[in-house]
A and B are shown apart, each in its own frame.
Chain A
Amino acid sequence: MSESPRMSKSWSCVLAGFVLMLLLMQVSSSSADTPPADKGPGALNHDLAVGRPPVDDGYASEVPREEIINRNQSALAADKGEQSIPVADEIEFITGNSFRKPFEETLKTVAKVDYYGTRYVDCEQYPLEVHTARPNQVSLLMKTGDSSKFEGSKSNQGIKVRGTPQGLGVEQQRALLATFDFDTPIIELEKNPHTFKPLGMEKLPGMLTWKLQVDRAGGYSQVVYVDSHYGDVVKLSIISAQGAHILDVAPHDYRAVDGIRVPFAIDYRSQEGTVLANDRFDRIEVKRTRS
């Protein structure tokens, strides 16, 4: 018994050493197992910030500086959508689209664009005219019967709506007018690179798109999907100030008319994807400013 305290002390020492050894083993093992790529969002940034060459065999150690640049995960454009893919330098890639450049330069010289066509709703069809002008003015005239029509406009005096639109509700038509923008996202981004919030990329049927978010007049916002090849806006989701989805707009059948790219078809869908109406244009007229 008298040895008991001594025994206990020495056992305690052995145990303490044992536990310490195990702990150390685990710590060293876990740090060796953890891939350097998981060092954390700031790791690359830190290395570059202090001007150290990357560690041999480590993260990006074989990639030239100009292909890495000073970027980290927090600089990637992304939103929380499951379909979104985080990307680097989204705005730079959108504005750098060389296919798009000549069309954008021409659009800057255009004062008005008039669209003539038809709105299709189920089996019904209605003659349609849309007149657009700088800065962000739009008026829409749709014959809904022999003596009835729907008129909507956005001007300096605000939004005006008269009659009942076909296919879309009055609130949806009002939101469409309120969020109308004469210029393309590329021109807007050239004016102010912070106009749009980059949200990464998203695959739509048949094409990969750049995804952007922008605040519009009347408290609305839009999520804009831009074709990654041609720079055309191929989808717009209009969101209310309260965050409610109002309408999906899908312009397509883009063609060049007098040096600018214009859609000859627009589909309107609900959030669930139900087609509400289709606009088809057979004539589009472009009017330039006096140079």
Chain B
Amino acid sequence: MSKFLVSLIVGCTLLAVMPFAASPADVPQKPYVVLDKNLSQLRADFNANLGKVRMLYIVGPTCGICLRGMSDLQEAVYSKKGDDPRLVTFVIHVPTLGAHETNVVPASRLISNRHTTQYWEETGITGKLMRQVMGVDIYVWDFWTIYGPKAVWSDERLPPVPDFWQHQLDGLPAEKKLDANVFAAKIDGFLAQIPAPPIASTMGVAPTKSE
């Protein structure tokens, strides 16, 4: 009987422990970062890249116009500048138009760049906070920003005011509609404030994502 009991206890314990033991090895790492409502990881990543030109995009991963914006910037910026380590991009996917986390990966493929981090923020607070930052009356998404090398995210909640921004929304100024070529030219202007890296450093730098 005691043998039976011991086997039963061992069996139950193994059964209970199995999922925990299996999970780290079996679960593939996501190609994006899931943000909490405080956007703490985004804030950390933003500040970890002080001294660089940072782009922050708020997009809906099932919004065709947002996707077109990403595709346009791929053509105008990323495919031309390559993996310049002075440029760091944060793409925040929010749950507009019924988007879910499963939509992040297909949309993310539109930007191909080593120094770009994709995020999924499932409450959508990012757009609400940016609305506060910009002092506008509409929820802010499909929104494309550039921060110069000196920008610091010092507030606990709110991101800093962008140094340059464009959008594809109805309630914001028409002259600020996303134009990938204008956007790329602005990036060049900010890049001029930073010394160009030695050619070798563009080849093998570590990803800038702080994790």
Contacts and interface: CB of A to CB of B under 8 A. Distances in A.
A197 interface: no
Interface residues of A, number: 48
A171 interface: no
Interface string A1-21: 000100110010001001100
Contacts of B127: 62-63, 67
Contacts of A208: 67-68, 71-72, 110
Interface in A85-102: 85-90, 93
B181 to A, nearest CB: 13
B122 A60 contact: yes
A62 B121 CA distance: 10
A7 B2 CA distance: 10
B124 to A, nearest CB: 4
Contacts of B98: 44, 68-69, 71-73, 75-76, 88
B62 A37 contact: no
Given A68-B95, A203-B110, A4 B100 contact: no
B62 A63 contact: no
B122 A76 contact: no
Contact of A22 (B16, B72, B124, B125): B16
Given A59-B123, A60-B124, A62-B128, A26 B19 contact: yes
B64 A228 contact: yes
B166 to A, nearest CB: 15
B8 interface: yes
Interface string A158-187: 000000000000000000000000000000
A258 B132 CA distance: 47
Given A22-B16, A58-B123, A87 B96 contact: no
B106 interface: yes
B134 to A, nearest CB: 15
B184 interface: no
Contacts of A67: 60, 96-97, 124, 127, 139, 141
A228 B70 CA distance: 12
Given A36-B122, A62-B124, A93 B1 contact: no
A87 B95 contact: no
Nearest to A15: B8
Interface residues of B, number: 43
Contacts of A44: 98, 100
A53 interface: no
Contacts of A283: none
B16 A26 contact: yes
A90 B125 CA distance: 26
Nearest to A74: B98
Contact of B123 (A15, A26, A60, A87): A60
B161 to A, nearest CB: 20
Interface centre among B1, B34, B95, by most A CB within 10 Å? B95
A228 B63 CA distance: 12
Given A15-B8, A64-B139, A88 B101 contact: no
A37 B62 CA distance: 14
B8 A63 contact: no
Contacts of A87: 62-64, 67
A73 B61 CA distance: 12
B5 interface: yes
Given A60-B95, A88-B63, A15 B124 contact: no
Interface of B: 1, 5, 8-9, 12, 15-16, 19, 34, 37, 60, 62-65, 67-68, 71-72, 75, 94-103, 106-107, 109-110, 120, 122-125, 127-128, 139, 141
26 contacts: A18-B9, A22-B15, A37-B101, A38-B101, A58-B122, A59-B100, A63-B94, A63-B124, A67-B60, A67-B127, A68-B96, A75-B98, A85-B109, A86-B62, A86-B103, A87-B62, A87-B67, A88-B64, A90-B64, A201-B68, A203-B110, A206-B75, A208-B71, A208-B110, A228-B68, A228-B71
